[in-house]
C-alpha cells in the first residue's frame, strides 16, 4: 500500500479569478493509489506558493471522501468550504485522467524492445507512487516492477530510452519490457526485474557492506567515464540490494543527463550524502541536500546506526580516495570519452546516446480552437483509474484496519493560517 504521506502527487496548478472576482489558486493532485485526480481550490491570499496545502488537506480527509468527489474548496481559514463531484469550471489543468501518452511509433529506437500489453500484467501490490509490483499473466512466478508516470512523461521517456541504450551492467537493473496500452500502441511505462532485497531508505536494518560502496563507485565510474552520462539522483532509495547475487543495484534513471563536469560533481556529492544517510539513517536531511556542499558532512557527527561489515571510517575513506582519484584523472585529461559529450546539455544532444524529443502536443492544433476541440474529443485517453487499495486487497486491509485517529473531517483545520 502506498504511504499516504507520498500518495497525493502534485500534478499541475494555476491561478484565476473566481465568479466573485477573487483570485483563487487551483491545484491538481493525483491520488497515486487510485490513479485519479483531485482538484483543490483555495484563495490566493493563503499564499500557498509551494502548493502544499491541498496535499495536506487530502492526507487528512481522503478516507472520508466518497469516490465521486473531484473538487475540494478551502476557505481563507484553511477550512473545508465545499466539495463537488465535478471538475472546476474553466479548468484546463492537465490531470492523470486526460494525460497524453507517447505513441510507440514516435521513437524508432524503441521498435525492437520487448513489449507487453498492460492487460497481460496482473497487479500484485502497489509499492510507491507510479511503481507497482506485477506478474506476467502467462508466467505468474515472474514478478516485475511496472513503472509509469503519466504526469511526468518526460522523465519516463528519458528513463526508457537510457535503459534501452545502456549496455548491460551487473549493478544496473535493465529494461525488461515496454508496457503498451491495449487499444492503441501508446507507451504507458516499462517493467524491470523485481529486486527482492528492497532499497536502503526503507530497509533500515539491513547490513551494509563495503563491497556495495565499491560497486556504487565502480558503476558511477562506468557511467561517467565510459558511457558519458551522469545519473543525477543517487540516494538510498535508488540503491537496491539483490539477495540473488549479493550485489548492489542502481535504479531510477529518470534524471539522467550528459556527463558534464557539473553533473559528475553532483553525482559524487550525492554519493557522499547517500553514504551518510545509509550509515546514520538520517534520511530526513536527504530531500534538502541538493543545496548543500559536502563540506557540511565533514563537520557533522556520523553516528553508526546501521550494521556495517567494516568500520564507518573505512567507507568514508573509500569515498575520499575515489574522489581524489577522479580529480587526478580529470587533471591528466584521461577522461577521453567524456569529450564526446561536451557541455552540460542533456543526453539527446550527444552523438551516440540520442533519442527523439518527446512530442505530445500538435502545434497546429494548439493554434486553432476548433481543431483543438475536435482533437480533444478524438484523443485516446487511457483508463488509469483503479479501485482503492482496500477494495482491491480487502484481506490485507482488514488485518490492519483501525479506527481513524482523527475526528470526522467536517473541519480540517490546518496549521497554516492566513496572514492578518
Residues of this chain that interact with ligand ATP (CB under 6 A) are 127-128, 130-131, 145, 147, 173, 192-195, 199, 202, 237-238, 240, 251-252, 254
Closest CB 189 distance from Mg ion, rounded Å: 14
| Torsion, Cα of 79, 83, 87, 92 (10° steps) | -10
CB nearer ligand ATP, residue 173 or residue 312: 173
Q: Which partner in ligand ATP, Mg ion, none is near 130 (CB below 5 to 8 A by kind)?
A: ligand ATP
CB 83 within 8 A of CB 69: yes
By beta-carbon proximity to ligand ATP, the closer residue of 16 and 346 is: 346
Give least dist CB 407 to Mg ion, A.
35
Contact partner at residue 240 from ligand ATP, Mg ion, none, CB < 5 to 8 Å by partner kind: ligand ATP
Is 94 or 128 the residue whose CB approaches ligand ATP more closely?
Answer: 128
Asked whether the beta carbons of 123 and 135 are under 8 A apart, the reply is no
The size of the chain, in residues, is 420
CA angle 79, 83, 87 (to 5 degrees): 125
We find the least distance from the C-beta atom of residue 255 to Mg ion, in angstroms, to be: 9
Q: Which is nearer to ligand ATP, 130 or 322 (CB)?
A: 130
CB of 83 to ligand ATP, least distance (A): 29
Q: Which is nearer to ligand ATP, 237 or 306 (CB)?
A: 237
Please identify, using beta-carbon distances, which residue of 129 and 228 lies nearer to Mg ion.
129
Minimum distance from CB of 37 to ligand ATP (Å)?
18
Least CB distance from residue 391 to ligand ATP, whole Å?
Answer: 23
194 binds, among ligand ATP, Mg ion, none (CB under 5 to 8 A by kind): ligand ATP
Please, which residues have CB within 8 angstroms of residue 265's CB and are 6 or more apart in sequence? none
In the list Mg ion, ligand ATP, none, the entry touching 221 (Cβ below 5 to 8 angstroms by class) is none
Q: Judge whether 235 and 270 are in contact, CB under 8 Å.
A: yes
Other C-beta atoms closer than 10 Å to the C-beta of 229 total 26
Please state the closest distance from residue 145 (CB atom) to ligand ATP, in A: 4
To the nearest whole angstrom, how small is the minimum distance from the Cβ of residue 177 to ligand ATP?
Answer: 13
Q: Are strands 187-193 and 175-180 parallel, antiparallel or unpaired?
A: antiparallel
Q: Which is nearer to ligand ATP, 128 or 365 (CB)?
A: 128
What residues make contact with Mg ion under the rule CB under 5 A? 238, 252
Distance between first and last Cα of the chain: 40
33 binds, among Mg ion, ligand ATP, none (CB under 5 to 8 A by kind): none
Q: Kindly state the helix (H) or strand (E) to which residue 417 belongs, with its residue range.
A: none
The interface partner of residue 192, options being Mg ion, ligand ATP, none and the CB cut-off 5 to 8 Å by kind, is ligand ATP
From the list Mg ion, ligand ATP, none, partner contacted by residue 173 (C-beta under 5 to 8 A by kind):
ligand ATP
Q: What are phi and psi for residue 385, nearest 5 degrees?
A: -60, 140
Q: Which is nearer to ligand ATP, 217 or 238 (CB)?
A: 238
Nearest to 157 by CA among 98, 227, 201, 99: 99
Residue 294 CA to chain centroid, in angstroms? Answer: 24
Which set of grid coordinates corresponds to residue 268?
559524487
- According to DSSP, the β-strands at 131-136 and 121-128 are antiparallel
- HEC profile of 310-371: CCHHHHHHHHHHHHHHHHHHHHHCCCHHHHHCCCCCCHHHCCCCCCCCCCCCCHHHHHCHHH
How many whole angstroms separate alpha carbon 290 and alpha carbon 266?
8
The binder of 254, among ligand ATP, Mg ion, none, by C-beta within 5 to 8 A per type, is ligand ATP
C-alpha cell at position 256: 539522467
Amino acid at each position: 500500500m502506498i504511504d499516504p504521506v507520498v500518495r497525493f502527487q502534485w500534478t499541475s496548478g494555476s491561478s484565476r479569478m473566481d465568479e466573485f472576482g477573487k483570485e483563487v489558486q487551483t491545484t491538481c493532485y493525483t491520488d497515486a493509489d487510485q490513479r485519479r485526480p483531485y482538484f483543490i481550490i483555495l484563495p490566493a491570499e493563503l499564499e500557498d506558493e509551494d502548493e502544499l496545502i491541498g496535499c495536506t488537506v487530502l492526507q487528512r480527509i481522503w478516507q472520508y471522501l466518497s469516490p465521486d468527489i473531484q473538487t475540494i474548496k478551502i476557505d481563507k481559514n484553511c477550512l473545508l468550504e465545499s466539495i463537488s463531484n465535478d471538475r472546476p469550471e474553466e479548468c484546463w489543468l492537465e490531470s492523470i485522467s486526460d494525460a497524453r501518452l507517447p505513441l510507440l511509433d514516435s521513437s524508432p529506437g524503441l521498435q525492437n524492445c520487448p513489449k507487453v500489453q498492460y492487460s497481460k500484467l496482473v497487479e500484485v501490490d502497489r509499492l510507491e507512487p507510479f511503481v507497482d509490483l506485477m506478474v506476467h499473466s502467462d508466467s505468474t512466478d515472474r514478478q516485475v516492477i511496472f513503472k509509469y508516470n503519466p504526469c511526468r512523461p518526460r522523465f519516463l521517456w528519458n528513463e526508457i530510452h537510457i535503459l534501452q541504450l545502456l549496455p548491460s551492467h551487473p549493478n544496473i537493473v535493465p529494461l525488461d519490457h515496454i508496457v503498451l496500452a491495449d487499444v492503441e500502441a501508446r507507451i504507458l511505462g516499462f517493467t524491470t526485474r523485481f529486486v527482492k532485497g528492497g532499497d536502503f531508505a526503507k530497509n533500515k536494518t539491513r547490513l551494509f557492506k563495503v563491497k556495495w560502496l565499491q560497486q556504487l563507485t565502480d558503476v558511477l565510474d562506468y557511467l561517467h567515464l565510459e558511457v558519458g552520462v551522469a545519473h543525477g539522483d543517487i540516494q538510498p532509495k535508488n540503491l537496491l540490494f539483490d539477495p540473488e547475487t549479493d550485489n548492489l543495484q542502481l535504479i531510477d534513471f529518470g534524471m539522467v543527463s550528459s556527463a558534464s563536469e557539473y553533473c559528475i560533481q553532483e553525482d559524487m556529492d550525492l554519493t557522499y550524502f547517500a553514504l551518510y544517510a545509509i550509515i546514520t539513517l538520517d534520511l530526513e536531511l536527504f530531500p534538502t541536500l541538493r543545496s548543500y556542499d559536502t563540506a557540511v558532512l565533514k563537520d557533522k557527527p556520523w553516528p553508526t546506526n546501521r550494521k556495517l561489515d567494516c568500520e564507518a571510517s573505512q567507507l568514508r575513506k573509500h569515498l575520499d580516495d575515489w574522489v581524489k582519484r577522479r580529480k587526478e584523472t580529470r587533471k591528466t585529461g584521461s577522461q577521453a570519452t567524456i569529450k564526446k559529450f561536451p557541455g552540460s546539455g542533456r543526453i539527446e544532444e550527444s552523438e551516440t546516446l540520442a533519442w527523439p524529443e518527446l512530442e505530445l502536443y500538435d502545434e497546429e492544433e494548439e493554434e486553432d480552437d476548433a481543431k483543438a476541440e475536435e482533437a480533444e474529443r478524438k484523443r485516446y485517453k487511457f483508463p488509469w483509474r483503479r479501485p482503492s487499495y482496500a477494495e482491491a486487497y480487502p484481506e490485507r486491509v482488514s488485518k490492519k484496519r483501525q479506527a481513524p485517529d482523527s475526528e470526522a473531517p467536517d473541519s480540517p483545520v490546518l496549521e497554516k493560517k492566513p496572514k492578518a
